């Protein structure tokens, strides 16, 4: 999918969902993210690529303030979601995380039944008025997580008993059950085999119809396959950001080119 100029043209009309300006992140004395400016569009899959330790996961975790759970982490700069600064004192990080969902590198189903895993978010946010409502949300989320057919007969079996790929799709279904507007995915396929990876990628492509998806990945093929926009991070800097097709075919920066062609990594 290197040849996706039509897609690139299409997304340029999208609205800006998240815009970050001069974001700095420090872990204690380490300056992990330096001066990152980026605008993430709605209904687009944005991929963050870059060598290990370049700060792409750290930046991703800034977008729903998951970094707040790390004591020594400090974020400066502005991150605007729908016109509101998410680091403003008035913003409740708990509410923010309901709006900006997250899927992690390792599948982390709760030690509960499949049903309760999905119902977890809707329950704590009071999204369901009745049991029937909740059943419907669970079914819808599992269908959209492309796992309904595999688990519909054992909704009350523990979620930890599923295979790795099924667990990850369960976690994605769990994240979309709370109806987020942005879905952050931190290397969602790194623990999966190629078949499960293909299923998850297909799912990401579908999710684009409704959400903005930001995905961190180590696989450049994956970035090229699923994303419309790509951002390349290197040593805490955002080096290059643009339509995926352009980044992979005509990179402007020589560091991007070196990384894509495998000379640095």
Partner 1 sequence: MPVLWLVLIILGLAALGFIMGRQRALKSAGGDSRKLHSLPNYYGANVALSVLVPSFGVLIVWLLAQPMLIDRAVSAMIPPELIPENTTTGLVMSDVRRVAEGLDVAVEKGAMSASEANSVRSEFTDLRARLGDVGVALGQDVRPEVLRAAQRYRTLNATGNMALTIVICLVAVAGFINALRHCTAEYRARNVVERAILVILMAAASIAILSTIGIVLSMLFESVNFFGLHRWTDFFFGTTWAPNFRGDSELSILPLLWGTLYISFIALLVAVPVGLFAAIYLSEYAGSKTRSFAKPLLEILAGIPTIVYGLFALLTVGPLLVKVFGQGDNGLLGVEWMSGATSVLTAGIVMGIMLIPFVSSLSDDIINAVPQSMRDGSLGLGATKSETIRQVVVPAALPGIVGAILLAASRAIGETMIVVMGAGAIAKFSVNPLESMTTITTRIVSQLTGDGDFASPETLVAFALGLTLFVLTLGLNVLALYIVRKYREQYE
Q: Which residues bind partner 1 (CB under 8 A)?
A: 64, 66, 69, 71, 94-99, 101-104, 106, 108-112, 120-121, 124-125, 158, 160, 171, 174-175, 178
Measured from the CB atom, the residue of 21 and 99 that comes closer to partner 1 is 99
Q: How far is the CB of 73 from partner 1 (least distance, A)?
A: 14
Q: How far is the CB of 173 from partner 1 (least distance, A)?
A: 12
Q: Are 237 and 36 in contact (CB under 8 A)?
A: yes
Q: How far is the CB of 67 from partner 1 (least distance, A)?
A: 11
Any residues with CB less than 8 A from the CB of 88 and at least 6 apart, and which? none
Measured from the CB atom, the residue of 6 and 69 that comes closer to partner 1 is 69
Measured from the CB atom, the residue of 98 and 224 that comes closer to partner 1 is 98
Q: How far is the CB of 189 from partner 1 (least distance, A)?
A: 16
Q: How far is the CB of 123 from partner 1 (least distance, A)?
A: 8
Gap between the Cα atoms of 21 and 6, Å rounded: 28
**What count of other Cβ atoms lies within 10 Å of the Cβ of residue 101?**
23
Measured from the CB atom, the residue of 9 and 157 that comes closer to partner 1 is 157
Q: How far is the CB of 108 from partner 1 (least distance, A)?
A: 4
Gap between the Cα atoms of 90 and 101, Å rounded: 20
Q: How far is the CB of 72 from partner 1 (least distance, A)?
A: 11
> Which tokens belong to 180?
């987020």
> Which tokens belong to 93?
């990080």
Determine the Cα angle at 176 with ends 243 and 217, to 5°.
Answer: 40
Measured from the CB atom, the residue of 10 and 190 that comes closer to partner 1 is 190
Q: What is the dihedral of CA 11, 13, 19, 25, to 10 degrees?
A: 20
Residues facing residue 213 across a β-bridge: 45, 183
Measured from the CB atom, the residue of 61 and 234 that comes closer to partner 1 is 61
Measured from the CB atom, the residue of 45 and 171 that comes closer to partner 1 is 171
Any residues with CB less than 8 A from the CB of 155 and at least 6 apart, and which? 113, 114, 115, 138
Gap between the Cα atoms of 34 and 57, Å rounded: 14
Give burial (CB, 10 Å; 0-12/13-18/19+) of 82: middle
Please tell me whether residue 127 adopts helix, strand or coil conformation.
coil
Q: Are 107 and 164 in contact (CB under 8 A)?
A: yes
């Amino acid at each position: 999918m290197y040849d996706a100029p039509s897609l690139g043209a299409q997304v340029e009309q999208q609205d800006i969902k998240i815009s970050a300006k001069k974001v700095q992140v420090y872990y204690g004395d380490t300056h992990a993210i330096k001066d990152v400016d980026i605008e993430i569009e709605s209904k687009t899959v944005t991929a963050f690529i870059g060598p290990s330790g370049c700060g792409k996961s750290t930046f991703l975790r800034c977008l729903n303030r998951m970094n707040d759970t790390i004591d020594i982490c400090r974020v400066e700069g502005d991150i605007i979601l729908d016109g509101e600064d998410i680091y403003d004192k008035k913003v409740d990080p708990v509410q923010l995380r309901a709006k900006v969902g997250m899927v992690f590198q390792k599948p982390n189903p709760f030690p509960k039944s499949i049903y309760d895993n999905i119902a977890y978010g809707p329950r704590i946010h009071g999204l369901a008025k009745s049991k029937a409502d909740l059943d419907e949300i669970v079914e819808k989320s599992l269908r959209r997580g492309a796992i309904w057919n595999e688990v519909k007969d054992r909704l009350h079996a523990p979620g930890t008993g599923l295979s790795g790929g099924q667990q990850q799709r369960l976690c994605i279904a769990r994240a979309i059950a709370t109806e987020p507007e942005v879905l952050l995915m931190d290397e969602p396929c790194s623990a999966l085999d190629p078949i499960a990876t293909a299923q998850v990628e297909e799912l990401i492509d579908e999710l684009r119809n409704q959400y903005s998806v930001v995905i961190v990945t180590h696989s450049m093929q994956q970035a090229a396959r699923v994303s419309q926009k790509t951002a390349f991070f290197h040593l805490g800097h955002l080096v290059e950001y643009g339509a995926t097709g352009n980044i992979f075919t005509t990179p402007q920066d020589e560091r991007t080119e070196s990384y894509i062609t495998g000379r640095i990594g």
